[in-house]
């Protein structure tokens, strides 16, 4: 197939996705005509990504062109019943919880608490929606053009929400095109912990967008888990805007989907901001998992630390591309970035590209990446203490992952991740 034909095919496929997004938008009571029209125009100006694009060089989406996805219809009782069964295994206890099934808010499964609402039921559309940088990216614009309902967290000034708020996105069915949306506004001096979870069964396409506004001296702890079917495709965007003296912590777990990508973008818009990003990816078989991150500092005295760990088994393919941008005005910045990768199979693969783009001359920045297999001397030490080879391997993988899991402050989620890694290593 020629390059022209390939571009034509991708344009046609993107157009089909846009048509399905329009059908989902018709189910939404939000209106948002002006915002959606602008988003549709952006999508129409772009082409479905290929590995000829630098940002997608290691993430091949061509297999999606053979897959057909449809907008979900109204929720049936059987779908709600199945969703209820899945929720029983991922409950965080007596906390506020918003549940979206196939992109549609499920009121009967949710527990709306203080500071939480659903955009489809809100009195007015928040001005902060689709305003963070990066909204012009093709999949982000596609989501804006077609999301049905959205979770909204508005934490009032000087208010600390003690219990975590859980948002669960469930995709139930085959061939569905689902676009979850979340908006978090943490006003000055507020604090909140958000747990976002993506689960699903069957072949589906999830295109999610989460926007987080962290105002002056506010603190947001954001835990994100993607554990969808190995037949699914998942593309997610997390865009964060941090004002002065704010603190944002993100921990992302990627275990599911046949093809997945998480675009994590943090924009420090004030001085003395603190950003901490950690992540754990564990995939096997022929899964492809991509983490693309950007930390853009624009004021003095900013700090940013990132640790991304990847575990690849069988024929799995992992990608990490992390960029830290420090312009001239961001003096006295302290930033570090580290990507550590563990390959359990000779056929597994990792493409890692940590980047520092520094213009300021009075900064302390460092980055690095490691790619290794299980250390033979560590395996030998454990075996010399009477531990068999399989058990020794499981212990080392478990220890590698615990650096990301152990700091989780939400005990039920920490225990669930702990158990998952133990089972994964069997």
- The domain spans of the chain are 1-270, 376-425
pLDDT reading at 3 higher than 50: no
Handedness of CA 111, 116, 120, 122 (dihedral sign): positive
How do residues 277-290 score in pLDDT, each as one tens digit? 999 999 999 999 99
Lowest mean pLDDT among 82-96, 162-176, 219-233, 369-383: 369-383
| CA quadruple 55, 58, 63, 64: dihedral, nearest 10 | -30
Q: What are the C-alpha distances in Å from 142 to residues 36, 66, 121, 147, 379? A: 9, 19, 22, 8, 48
The pLDDT assigned to 5 comes to 38
Lowest mean pLDDT among 3-7, 103-107, 348-352, 422-426: 3-7
Average pLDDT over residues 226-243: 97
Residue 201 has a CB neighbour count (10 Å cut-off) of 16
Residue 407 has a CB neighbour count (10 Å cut-off) of 12
* Distance in Å from the first CA to the final CA of the chain: 43
Q: Are 246 and 275 in contact (CB under 8 A)?
A: no
**Secondary structure (3-state) at 289:** strand
Which segments of 64-215 does DSSP mark as H helices, in order?
A: 77-87, 138-146
How do residues 82-102 score in pLDDT, each as one tens digit? 999 999 999 898 889 999 999
415 Cβ contact list (under 8 Å, min separation 6): none
DSSP state of 189: T
Task: Specify the pTM.
Answer: 0.94
- The CA distance from 410 to 306, in Å, is 20
Q: 6 pLDDT band (50/70/90 cuts)?
A: confident
Helices 376-384, 389-405: inter-axial angle, 10-degree rounding: 120
- Percent of the chain clearing pLDDT 70 (strictly above): 97
- The CA distance from 276 to 336, in Å, is 10
- The CA distance from 133 to 129, in Å, is 11
Neighbour-count burial of 390, counting CB atoms closer than 10 A to its CB (0-12 exposed, 13-18 middle, 19+ buried): exposed
pLDDT reading at 1 higher than 60: no
Q: Which two tokens stand for residue 144?
A: 């804006």
Average pLDDT, the chain: 92
pLDDT reading at 232 higher than 80: yes
Q: 121 pLDDT band (50/70/90 cuts)?
A: low
How do residues 358-376 score in pLDDT, each as one tens digit? 888 899 989 999 999 988 8
* The residue to which tokens 């990816």 are assigned: 281
pLDDT reading at 339 higher than 90: yes
Total H helices, total E strands in the chain? 7, 20
Average pLDDT over residues 189-204: 95
The pLDDT assigned to 148 comes to 92
Q: What are the C-alpha distances in Å from 354 to residues 187, 255, 275, 324, 366? A: 32, 22, 17, 8, 10
Residue 186: its H or E element: strand 181-186
Lowest mean pLDDT among 247-251, 328-332, 343-347, 383-387: 383-387
- The CA distance from 9 to 325, in Å, is 35
How do residues 377-426 score in pLDDT, each as one tens digit? 888 888 888 888 888 888 999 999 999 999 999 999 999 999 999 998 87
Average pLDDT over residues 240-264: 97
């Amino acid at each position: 197939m020629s390059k022209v034909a390939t571009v034509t095919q991708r344009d046609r496929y993107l157009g089909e996705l846009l048509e399905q997004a329009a059908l989902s938008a018709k189910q939404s009571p939000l209106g948002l005509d002006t915002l959606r029209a602008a988003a549709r125009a952006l999508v129409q100006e772009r082409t479905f990504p290929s590995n000829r694009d630098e940002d997608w060089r290691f993430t091949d989406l061509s297999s999606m062109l053979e897959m057909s996805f449809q907008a979900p219809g109204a929720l049936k009782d059987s779908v709600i019943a199945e969703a209820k069964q899945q929720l029983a295994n991922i409950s965080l206890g007596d906390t506020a919880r918003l549940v979206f099934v196939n992109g549609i808010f499920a009121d009967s499964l949710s527990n709306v608490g203080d500071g939480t609402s659903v955009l489809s039921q809100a009195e007015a559309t928040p001005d902060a929606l689709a305003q963070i940088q990066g909204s012009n990216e093709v999949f982000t614009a596609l989501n804006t053009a077609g999301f049905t309902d959205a979770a909204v967290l508005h934490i009032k000034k000087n208010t600390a929400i003690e219990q975590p708020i859980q948002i669960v996105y469930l995709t139930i069915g085959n061939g569905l095109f689902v676009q979850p949306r979340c908006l978090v506004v943490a006003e000055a001096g507020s604090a909140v912990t958000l747990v976002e979870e993506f689960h699903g069964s069957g072949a589906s396409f999830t295109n999610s967008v989460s926007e987080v506004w962290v105002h002056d001296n506010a603190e947001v702890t954001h835990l994100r888990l993607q554990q969808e079917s190995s037949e699914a495709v998942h593309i997610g965007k997390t865009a964060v805007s941090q004002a002065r003296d704010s603190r944002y912590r993100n921990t992302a777990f990627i275990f599911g989907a046949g093809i997945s990508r998480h675009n994590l973008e943090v924009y420090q818009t004030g001085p003395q901001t603190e950003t901490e990003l950690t992540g754990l990816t564990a995939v096997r078989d022929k899964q492809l998992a991509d983490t693309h991150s950007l930390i853009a500092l624009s004021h003095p005295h900013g700090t940013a630390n990132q640790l991304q760990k990847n575990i690849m088994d069988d024929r799995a393919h992992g990608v990490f591309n992390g960029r830290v941008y420090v312009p001239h005005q961001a003096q006295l910045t302290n930033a570090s970035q580290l990507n550590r990768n563990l390959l359990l199979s000779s056929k597994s693969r990792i493409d890692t590209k940590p980047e520092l783009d520094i213009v300021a001359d009075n900064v302390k920045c460092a980055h690095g990446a490691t790619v290794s297999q299980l250390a033979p001397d560590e395996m030998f030490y454990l075996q010399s203490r009477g531990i068999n080879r399989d058990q020794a391997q499981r212990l080392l993988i478990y220890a590698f992952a615990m650096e990301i899991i152990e700091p989780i402050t939400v005990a039920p989620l920490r225990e669930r991740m702990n158990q998952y890694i133990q089972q994964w290593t069997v």
